[in-house]
Structure 1
Amino acid sequence: MERKEQKLELLSPAGDPERLDSALRFGAGAVYLAGREFGMRAGPANFSNEELKKACLFAHEKGAKVYVTCNTLPRNGEIERLPGFLEAVEDAGADGLIVTDLGVLALAKRYAPRTEVHISTQAGIVNYQSARFFYDLGASRVVLARELSLEEIAEIRAKTDPKLELEAFVHGSMCVSFSGRCLLSNYLTGRDANRGDCAQPCRWKYHLMEESRPGEYFPVLEDDSGAYFFNSRDLCMVEHIPELAGAGVTSLKIEGRAKSAYYVAVVTNAYRQALDLYEKNPEQFVLPQWVLEEMEKVSHREYCTGFFFGNEPGQVYDNGGYVRGWEVAAVCDGYESRTAVCSQRNRFFKGETLNVLEPGRVPYEIVVKELFNHDGEPAESAPHPMETLYIPLEKPMAPGALLRRKR
């Protein structure tokens, strides 16, 4: 049976309603998010049952889908709460449930029978037989293990039912443990990574301590900065959309439910522009330089292409921090009388040049020639968080546009 070509889905993270808005505003075709339980990210605010209903309505109005993560490994004491949660997800109108545990899969088919089931990357699917097995159990999609190469993905595509969708992570943080199945956080802090509460000890700095000299810490490297043994590089595949499509990937997934709304906006917008260009002319796809530059305007570690080309992502050994070169100065709330009405996020000054990111547009620059505070009085700077500001501009600026400055 020949597989029908379909439009690639851009799947963005939504850790809370603000990040949901950013994802949809900047071009996500689908979002993944969590309720207050059973999701693999306990840090973000996530969504109550009522918020989940509103999120589904909002996304569907925008023509986007909502997938709810239910991919922790629940213990006995949590099982009794699962049926009610699953019924709430279906009642909210979610398009899919992302699950790992086989018991949860069985409950999902019983208590949310009209909702698609997607198998989480934590299930560790690295071969076509596993993908077939989950499809036979009723899954409509598998989220492939991050350790696969494009060649291996292509073989899975060729040897599975064409109706089975293949989802792959294409951007964001990488985990040094196999598909996120890690106990390091649990051992060191008591916070279970497999239940959404990872403390990320893989990002910590480590030293060597000799048993007879407690309290004396020796750097493992030749300098005194310590060593980040487990600190993986970040994934970025925005240059390789043709290869992902050629391997048969259905959905391109951006990691980051714990990341900021700004991060979600920038990365979603960049991949949206790249995808649209690819689909317009697949044979002559050339990624614009500005899209690559956008990747440097969010907080990130050194980039890599993960395992897709048969290599390994590798670690950043000399630091555990992020590259943070840019920040949001203000967000545009509206445009009236040739003036952008903005809310401040970080301090900026009259006379500064700001970089503007609007949905669906190439970023551009403006000079803040004039600046007025919330009382309409001339101002030399914007020092107050969330203050309403007025910036006269000849050309309109779209609501939700992000005004950025280099640190």
Structure 2
Amino acid sequence: MKKSFNGNNVEICAPAGSWESLSAAIRASADSVYFGVEKLNMRARASENFTAGDMAKISRICRKSGVKPYLALNTIIYDSDIPEMKRICDSAKSAGISAIIASDIAAIEYASSINMPVHLSVQANVSNIEAVRFFAKFADVIILARELSLGQISGIVRAIEKEKIIGPSGKPVRIELFAHGALCVSISGKCYMSLAAYDTSANRGDCYQPCRRRYIVKDEETGFEMAIDNQYVMSPKDLCTIRILDKILDAGVSVLKIEGRGRAPDYVSSVTGAYKKAAGLWNKGRFSISAAKKLEVGLESVFNRGFWHGGYYLGDKAGEWSGISGSAATLKKIHIGEILNYFHKAGIAEINLSAGGLETGDEILITGHTTGARKMKIGSLRIEGKSAVRALKGQVATFPTDFKTRKNDKVYLLVPSS
């Protein structure tokens, strides 16, 4: 069985931007999750952030399932933020959070001073072994910049091994890499476009994403507008590395991070599950391109802006632009209702079709705080105890499930996006 260079199994680190996504990540067999609380994290605007008071519950849920919880405290920290930063760090330590992900030296140094493990955020833009040597004084895990090539990544990992660079735990520093998800048009941690345009800083978790919008090129003197092939000239496609996961892991990467704290629970479930399976195949020496492409079908079904396969890791220049404002997912979710009840002994769910109808053979998605994100096909329906082929909007119906649902879980019909 293959293992990463430091002898550990590959760790899949999944995003948790909500209770539903947290449950989805755990059910998809994530090894760790990362989340933010309140405002001092890079998804303060995009995700349903937790509060500091939620951390004890998050820790309990994760540890019950053998999952490590990491707190993202990865924004720029100003003097006025320091009391809040310290309060959050103290709360994380008391709650039993496994590590803090940070890039600002104020947060790194304070976390270290209270013996709180630190993972160095991608926002620190670590791109060379000298930076690794420096940050190893504070961090056991270092997330490398997304703009490096596989050769550069491998060189850094081998240097850690050769020089025996250890972190505060006394163990070799582990290297983490973003494996999937949205890419910024700028270099990691260096974008100021939102700040310049709207006075809301991306580096404070408050990005308005002007890069995801359409633009035209206009001559100010004549008013002439130039035609361009793609109006989304600053919106990269999403990073997808599943086809080259063997190369990434062979390079010595220990932790694979999935971007997406602002994404829905079905995204978290599908992407986490796919990369977990791919890493498992690599562990067993059975990884192949054909197997990766089969797993890629699931990735295509959830939110994506199209895929840049391999990204900068293959040494390619930026140039894979999305061409769309929203998602290129192959499946579309249509909200049709909510779960009213679940009958444990019979394994039957009762649904209130408040927003749409349902037929036998339909594929649905059920999401909830504890349920996470579960997909299933409707095998049979009953209305008022009688068998039915379809149930209409406004009706209450029941159907068998092979997993537990909960009251108020949301139900979506999954249909082809075309």
Which TM bucket (shorter chain)?
A: 0.7 to 0.9
The Cα shift of 1:337 comes to: 2.4
Q: Matched residues in 2 for 1:171 and 1:284: separation?
A: 18
The Cα shift of 1:339 comes to: 3.5
For residues 182-237 of structure 1, what are the alpha-carbon distances to aligned partners after superposition, in whole Å with 9 as ceiling and x for unaligned? Answer: 10000111111000001111111112344357xx6835326xxx711111010111
The Cα shift of 1:388 comes to: 6.7
Q: Matched residues in 2 for 1:88 and 1:303: separation?
A: 38
Q: Matched residues in 2 for 1:244 and 1:221: separation?
A: 35
Query: Taking structure 1 as reference, are residues 369 and 320 closer, same or farther at Cα in structure 2, changes over 3 Å only?
Result: same
Aligned pair partner of 2:69 in 46, 66, 69: 66
Match of 1:263, SS state, is helix
Q: Partner of 1:406 in structure 2?
A: 416
Match of 1:323, SS state, is coil
Query: In the alignment, is the contact (CA less than 8 A) between 1:335 and 1:341 conserved in 2?
Result: no
Structure 2: tracts of 5 or more residues without a match: 167-171, 368-373, 406-410
Query: In the alignment, is the contact (CA less than 8 A) between 1:168 and 1:252 conserved in 2?
Result: yes
The Cα shift of 1:5 comes to: 2.1
Q: Partner of 1:75 in structure 2?
A: 78
Q: Which moved more, 1:168-177 or 1:157-166?
A: 157-166
1:255-294 mapped onto 2 (5 Å cutoff): 255-282=259-286, 287=291, 289-294=293-298
- 1:104 and 2:107 matched: yes
- 1:383 and 2:393 matched: yes
Query: In the alignment, is the contact (CA less than 8 A) between 1:350 and 1:368 conserved in 2?
Result: no
- 1:303 and 2:307 matched: yes
Query: In the alignment, is the contact (CA less than 8 A) between 1:350 and 1:371 conserved in 2?
Result: no
What letter matches 1:133 in structure 2?
F
The Cα shift of 1:404 comes to: 3.5
Match of 1:81, SS state, is helix
Q: Partner of 1:177 in structure 2?
A: 186
What letter matches 1:13 in structure 2?
P
The Cα shift of 1:288 comes to: 5.7
Query: In the alignment, is the contact (CA less than 8 A) between 2:31 and 2:67 conserved in 1?
Result: yes
Q: Partner of 1:15 in structure 2?
A: 17
Query: In the alignment, is the contact (CA less than 8 A) between 1:334 and 1:397 conserved in 2?
Result: no
What letter matches 1:292 in structure 2?
E
Query: In the alignment, is the contact (CA less than 8 A) between 1:53 and 1:93 conserved in 2?
Result: yes
Q: Partner of 1:118 in structure 2?
A: 119
Q: Matched residues in 2 for 1:251 and 1:258: separation?
A: 21
The Cα shift of 1:24 comes to: 0.6
For residues 213-266 of structure 1, what are the alpha-carbon distances to aligned partners after superposition, in whole Å with 9 as ceiling and x for unaligned? Answer: 7xx6835326xxx71111101011122221111111010000000011111111
Query: Taking structure 1 as reference, are residues 285 and 318 closer, same or farther at Cα in structure 2, changes over 3 Å only?
Result: closer
Q: Matched residues in 2 for 1:220 and 1:9: separation?
A: 46
Match of 1:80, SS state, is helix
The Cα shift of 1:383 comes to: 3.4
Q: Matched residues in 2 for 1:327 and 1:335: separation?
A: 30
Aligned pair partner of 1:39 in 41, 46, 51: 41
Query: Taking structure 1 as reference, are residues 68 and 141 closer, same or farther at Cα in structure 2, changes over 3 Å only?
Result: same
Match of 2:312, SS state, is coil
Query: Taking structure 1 as reference, are residues 348 and 328 closer, same or farther at Cα in structure 2, changes over 3 Å only?
Result: farther
Q: Which moved more, 1:254-263 or 1:280-289?
A: 280-289
What letter matches 2:196 in structure 1?
Y
Q: Which moved more, 1:319-328 or 1:295-304?
A: 319-328
Q: Which moved more, 1:311-320 or 1:277-286?
A: 277-286
Tell me the percent identity: 26
Query: Taking structure 1 as reference, are residues 346 and 154 closer, same or farther at Cα in structure 2, changes over 3 Å only?
Result: farther
Match of 1:308, SS state, is helix
What letter matches 2:332 in structure 1?
E
Query: In the alignment, is the contact (CA less than 8 A) between 1:99 and 1:105 conserved in 2?
Result: yes
Query: Taking structure 1 as reference, are residues 283 and 84 closer, same or farther at Cα in structure 2, changes over 3 Å only?
Result: closer
Query: Taking structure 1 as reference, are residues 273 and 47 closer, same or farther at Cα in structure 2, changes over 3 Å only?
Result: same
- 1:5 and 2:15 matched: no
What letter matches 1:79 in structure 2?
I
Q: Partner of 1:201 in structure 2?
A: 210
Query: Taking structure 1 as reference, are residues 366 and 322 closer, same or farther at Cα in structure 2, changes over 3 Å only?
Result: closer
Structure 1: tracts of 5 or more residues without a match: none
1:234-253 mapped onto 2 (5 Å cutoff): 234-253=238-257
Q: Matched residues in 2 for 1:346 and 1:276: separation?
A: 40
How many equivalent residue pairs? Answer: 388
Q: Partner of 1:326 in structure 2?
A: 331
The Cα shift of 1:382 comes to: 5.2
Q: Matched residues in 2 for 1:217 and 1:348: separation?
A: 50
- What TM-score does the superposition give when structure 2 sets the normalisation length? 0.83
Q: Partner of 1:166 in structure 2?
A: 175
Higher relative CO (Cα under 8 Å, sequence separation at least 6) belongs to 2
- 1:90 and 2:54 matched: no
Q: Partner of 1:129 in structure 2?
A: 130
Query: In the alignment, is the contact (CA less than 8 A) between 2:239 and 2:311 conserved in 1?
Result: yes
Query: In the alignment, is the contact (CA less than 8 A) between 1:266 and 1:298 conserved in 2?
Result: yes
What letter matches 1:380 in structure 2?
R
Query: Taking structure 1 as reference, are residues 150 and 206 closer, same or farther at Cα in structure 2, changes over 3 Å only?
Result: same
Q: Partner of 1:140 in structure 2?
A: 140
For residues 283-336 of structure 1, what are the alpha-carbon distances to aligned partners after superposition, in whole Å with 9 as ceiling and x for unaligned? Answer: 778626541210111011110121111113523264333213313467986764
Q: Partner of 2:371 in structure 1?
A: none
Query: Taking structure 1 as reference, are residues 388 and 134 closer, same or farther at Cα in structure 2, changes over 3 Å only?
Result: farther
Query: In the alignment, is the contact (CA less than 8 A) between 1:66 and 1:94 conserved in 2?
Result: yes
Q: Matched residues in 2 for 1:289 and 1:124: separation?
A: 30
Query: In the alignment, is the contact (CA less than 8 A) between 2:359 and 2:381 conserved in 1?
Result: yes
- What TM-score does the superposition give when structure 1 sets the normalisation length? 0.85
Q: Matched residues in 1 for 2:263 and 2:287: separation?
A: 34
- 1:211 and 2:215 matched: no
Q: Partner of 1:154 in structure 2?
A: 154
Cα RMSD of the aligned pairs, angstroms, is 3.1
Match of 1:67, SS state, is strand
